[in-house]
Amino acid sequence: VAASAREEPEPLPLPIESAVQRQDRERVQRALATLPAEQRAAIELSYFAGLTQREIAERLGDPLGTVKTRVRLALEKLAALLDDEKRNALP
Amino acid sequence: MTCAEFKEIAALLAAGTLDPPERSAAEQHLGEATHEGCFEALRRASETWDAVGRSLPPVRPDERVWQGIAGRIEARPRAAAVRTWAGWAVAAALALGLVGVQGARIRAERRAAERASASAERDQCARDLARAQGEAALQREALALLALPSTQVVALAPQQAGANITARALVNLASRAAVLYAAGPPAPEGKDYELWVIRGDKKLPAGLLRTQPSGAILARIDPALLTERPDALAVTMESAGGAPQPLGPIVLVGALPHT
């Protein structure tokens, strides 16, 4: 069946944020991007998807202890990276 | 639980993602008299999670969400008018000497009606907010998926002439997560859009596409359907409630590129 002319999906609502908020967001995104993929996945599934550690373990097929360790290490690394960025940003 | 054990899970406690028994044990530990850095670990974890939340751009709730809430708030003066009228009725009854038991009964009935009305309002607001929160969670999940380099964006092409619904799916097979979002009118009365995960000749039902409070059509694909790589995603129009196998016309199809 031939596809008809496609319409673009409507974008999500436009965000409103100040320059300071945008800088802050970009700073955190940079820090998140430096995490190893498996640590970042654990953080994202935990925070953004709201999954429990057990659900994350089931989804990723990893042992529960591994998931706990990944979240802890990821958060520690993230905190250290954000501290570094904050220190470097100071005049 | 020891302080060392607590600090291992402080990040999960701060995120609210501990399973209930472990959360209880952690909270019980916090009630103990002496600690070795437990509160500091919890505070630092909370601050870092807050920072993770700031990685997302703010999203303005659709106006219809607030209009719905405002509409119900504006409905309150009518209830007040009823109360005022009831007040006059009580005053008149008093003037006629119908005091005592009858007046108390009227006031009790009025209070019961007010309580029932307020309770219904609260329940409705709670339902609206829960739906809005559900949508916001899905949007956050979609944005998080979009930020992952390994996420594939799959455009689903309309399969019928004149079809005015479009959709894209964000698929991350590594984390077994996928969200589909579509734009277009809701399914006609008595019909539902149903999503399918296609693998070989298997067509696995992946749920109905529901219109969210903002009007967007969003759906999370069950991770269990992503344990093996799907070949394609499809949307059909089925009778209300959906079907275990696709019976209705195919509306959208998108193939997952093999990378």
Q: Choose from A22, A27, A29, A48 for mutation: most chain B CBs within 10 A.
A: A48
Yes or no, beta carbons of A46 and B18 under 8 Å apart: no
- Amino acid B77: pLDDT: 52
Yes or no, beta carbons of A25 and B57 under 8 Å apart: yes
Better-predicted residue by pLDDT, B245 or B98: B245
Contacts of A59 (CB under 8 A, 6+ apart): A45, A51, B175, B176, B177, B223
pLDDT band at B91 (very low <50, low <70, confident <90, very high): low
pLDDT tens-digit readout, B162-175: 667 888 898 888 88
For residue B233, pLDDT over 90 is answered with yes
What's the pTM value of the predicted model, to 2 decimals? 0.43
Size of interface A-B (CB pairs under 8 A): 139
Interface list for A 29-88 with B (CB within 8 A): 29, 31-32, 37, 40-41, 43-54, 56, 59-60, 68-69, 71-72, 75-76, 78-79, 82
Q: What's the half-sphere exposure (Cβ side, CA atoms, 13 Å) at B10? A: 25
% of chain B beyond a pLDDT of 90: 15
Rounded distance between C-alpha atoms, residue B86 and residue B171, angstroms: 59
Rounded distance between C-alpha atoms, residue B220 and residue B181, angstroms: 9
pLDDT tens-digit readout, B245-257: 999 999 999 998 7
Contact B167/B135 with Cβ under 8 angstroms? no
The tokens describing A62, both together, are 């990893």
Closest Cα in chain A to B20: A52
Q: Which of A40, A47, A72 sits opposite B49 (nearest CB)?
A: A47
Burial of B113 (0-12, 13-18, 19+ CB in 10 A): middle
For residue B8, pLDDT over 70 is answered with yes
End-to-end Cα distance, chain B? 47
**Which chain B residues have a beta carbon less than 8 Å from that of A51?**
17
Rounded distance between C-alpha atoms, residue B102 and residue A2, angstroms: 75
- Amino acid B235: pLDDT: 92
Q: ipTM surpassing 0.90, yes or no?
A: no
**Which chain A residues have a beta carbon less than 8 Å from that of B139?**
12
What is the least distance, in Å, from the CA of B18 to any CA of chain A?
Answer: 6
Better-predicted residue by pLDDT, B49 or B56: B49
What is the least distance, in Å, from the CA of A60 to any CA of chain B?
Answer: 6
For residue B234, pLDDT over 90 is answered with yes
Q: Which of B10-14, B69-73, B122-126 tops mean pLDDT?
A: B10-14
Contact A86/A51 with Cβ under 8 angstroms? no
Yes or no, beta carbons of A52 and B19 under 8 Å apart: yes
For residue B86, pLDDT over 80 is answered with no
For residue B206, pLDDT over 90 is answered with yes
Q: Choose from B5, B12, B253 for mutation: most chain A CBs within 10 A.
A: B12
**Which chain A residues have a beta carbon less than 8 Å from that of B61?**
13
- Bridge partners of B177, per DSSP, are B172
What mean pLDDT comes out for the span B141-146? 76
pLDDT tens-digit readout, A51-89: 888 888 888 889 999 998 999 899 899 888 888 877 776
Compute the residue count for chain A.
Answer: 91
Angstrom distances, CA of residue B15 to CA of B48, B105, B126:
10, 50, 23
For residue B197, pLDDT over 80 is answered with yes
pLDDT band at B17 (very low <50, low <70, confident <90, very high): confident
**Which chain B residues have a beta carbon less than 8 Å from that of A17?**
57-58
- Amino acid B99: pLDDT: 46
DSSP collapsed to 3 states, chain B: CCHHHHHHHHHHHHHCCCCHHHHHHHHHHHCCCCCCCHHHHHHHHHHHHHHHHCCCCCCCCCHHHHHHHHHHHHCHHHHHHHHHHHHHHHHHHHHCCCCCHHHHHHHHHHHHHHHHHHHHHHHHHHHHHHHHHHHHHHHHHHHHHHHCCCCEEEEEEECCCCCCCEEEEEEECCCCEEEEEEECCCCCCCEEEEEEEEECCEEEEEEECEECCCCCEEEECCHHHHCCCCCEEEEEEEECCCCCCCCCCEEEEEECCCC
Angstrom distances, CA of residue B63 to CA of A14, A67, B163:
12, 39, 27
- Amino acid B194: pLDDT: 93
pLDDT tens-digit readout, B22-34: 888 888 887 777 7
How high is the mean pLDDT of chain B? 77
pLDDT tens-digit readout, A2-47: 334 445 444 444 445 566 777 777 888 888 889 898 888 888 888 8
- Amino acid B232: pLDDT: 93
